[in-house]
């Protein structure tokens, strides 16, 4: 335990020689587990388990909780990031290049790179030092991946995609798919509907012609892309993802989108083409962003919000269409009161009607 506390830069009390073999929730912790009791609500749970050591909230009386030792971090939840990294057993990928992997002779493979079974590395691709390419991954022609990348199984990196250092891709991520860009010889019914706000959609039937994607994707350092997420290539210029940005599972990024630094995009977020998103933006689950809008720095969008217009920096938004969060919550409250209001109106109408009859 003393070694763990030292590595974390956290204070500890009690028996520093306790051996820790894993992490556990307090109620199910065994004697060699480090129980994660990060706030006071876990005190009763500790009594249900058999932990001898725990991570505790500031000011906790570790001895009265029956523990032999305790670690007191300044921010218990942040400690989770460090602890889980140190105790992560990984996926068991083997080191080196598997005999079934196909690596083009023109590809540049850095030192200490691992390439798993049935993976393909195409011509001119570059893999940075220490990278791990999981089973059945595909790295396209002339794609570049920086050092210490970690690609889980069945990840696709298309041709000419450029990715920085410490990149992580979860299973099934697809980066560099073609953008969803199609055009008709004459004005389409979609264009007519947008121009007239739906009053005129009567146009002749036409076939759609593909606009090819020439721009690929550029991704910065320390970016993570979740399972089955898709990032489309740009049409002329690259789609861009800034340093430190994290994408959850099932996120879709359309063509020509530019996303800034340290953004957090939760599950099922969909961003249409040519959107520009600032730095430190958080989009909750199932948020949708309409094409060609701007979302400013430090914006927070609540789950299932639909962003249809520009959002200024620093604003929290919610709803469909997304508007200031406090305004939307007030609207929700008013909507819940609407049935009672209608009953009151009906009662007043009835009372007035009786009064008119009696007169």
pLDDT tens track for 145-160: 999 999 999 999 999 9
pLDDT at 355: 73
Q: How far is residue 161's CA from residue 120's CA, in Å, rounded to a whole number? A: 15
pLDDT at 308: 96
Q: How many CA atoms lie within 13 A of 76 on its CB side?
A: 19
Tokens 């690596």 appear where? Answer: 103
Q: How far is residue 241's CA from residue 278's CA, in Å, rounded to a whole number? A: 11
pLDDT at 356: 67
Give the residue numbers annotated as catalytic, written as ranges: 255
What's the token pair of residue 117? 């079974």
User: By percentage, how much of the chain surpasses pLDDT 90?
Assistant: 75
Q: What is the mean pLDDT of the chain?
A: 93
Domain boundaries, the chain: 2-87
pTM, 2 dp: 0.88
pLDDT at 323: 95
Per DSSP, what are the bridge partners of residue 232?
A: 177
Q: How far is residue 232's CA from residue 317's CA, in Å, rounded to a whole number? A: 26
Question: Of 3.30.420.40, 1.10.10.1800, 3.40.1390.10, 3.40.50.12240, which CATH number belongs to 2-87?
Answer: 3.40.1390.10
Task: Give the Å distances, CA to CA, from 14 to 17, 47, 63, 68.
Answer: 9, 18, 9, 6
- Residue 313 pLDDT exceeds 90: yes
| pLDDT band at residue 190 using 50, 70 and 90 as cut-offs | confident
| pLDDT band at residue 32 using 50, 70 and 90 as cut-offs | very high
Dihedral sign for Cα atoms in the order 110, 112, 116, 118 = positive
């Amino acid at each position: 335990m003393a070694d763990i506390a030292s590595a974390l830069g956290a204070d500890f009390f009690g028996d520093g020689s306790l051996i820790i073999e894993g992490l556990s929730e307090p109620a199910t912790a065994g004697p060699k587990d480090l129980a994660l009791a990060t706030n006071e609500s876990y005190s009763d749970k500790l009594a249900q388990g058999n932990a001898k050591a725990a991570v505790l909230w500031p000011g906790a009386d570790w001895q009265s909780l029956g523990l032999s030792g305790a670690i007191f971090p300044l921010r218990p939840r942040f400690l989770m990031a460090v602890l889980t990294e140190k105790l992560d057993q990984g996926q068991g990928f083997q080191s080196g290049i598997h005999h079934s992997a196909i690596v083009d002779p023109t590809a540049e493979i850095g030192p200490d790179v691992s390439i798993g079974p049935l993976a393909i590395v195409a011509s001119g691709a570059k893999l940075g030092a220490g990278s791990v390419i999981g089973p059945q991954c595909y790295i396209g022609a002339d794609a570049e991946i920086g050092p210490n990348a970690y690609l889980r199984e069945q990840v696709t990196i298309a041709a000419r995609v450029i990715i920085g250092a410490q990149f992580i891709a979860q299973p099934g991520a697809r980066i560099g798919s073609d953008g969803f860009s199609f055009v008709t010889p004459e004005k389409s019914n979609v264009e007519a509907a947008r121009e007239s706000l739906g009053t005129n959609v009567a146009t002749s039937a036409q076939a759609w012609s593909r606009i090819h994607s020439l721009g690929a994707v550029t991704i910065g350092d320390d970016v993570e892309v979740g399972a089955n997420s898709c990032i489309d290539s740009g049409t002329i210029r690259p789609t861009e993802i800034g340093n430190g940005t994290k994408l959850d599972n099932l996120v879709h990024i359309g063509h020509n989108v530019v996303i800034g630094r340290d953004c957090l995009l939760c599950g099922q977020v969909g961003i249409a083409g040519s959107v520009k998103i600032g730095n430190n933006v958080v989009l909750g689950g199932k948020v949708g962003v309409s094409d060609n809008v701007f979302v400013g720095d430090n914006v927070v969008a609540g789950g299932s919000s639909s962003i249809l217009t520009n959002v200024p920096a620093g604003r929290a938004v919610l709803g469909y269409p997304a508007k200031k969060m406090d305004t939307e919550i007030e609207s929700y409250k008013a909507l819940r009161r609407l049935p009672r209001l209608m009953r009151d109106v009906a009662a007043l109408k009835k009372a007035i009607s009786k009064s008119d009859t009696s007169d």
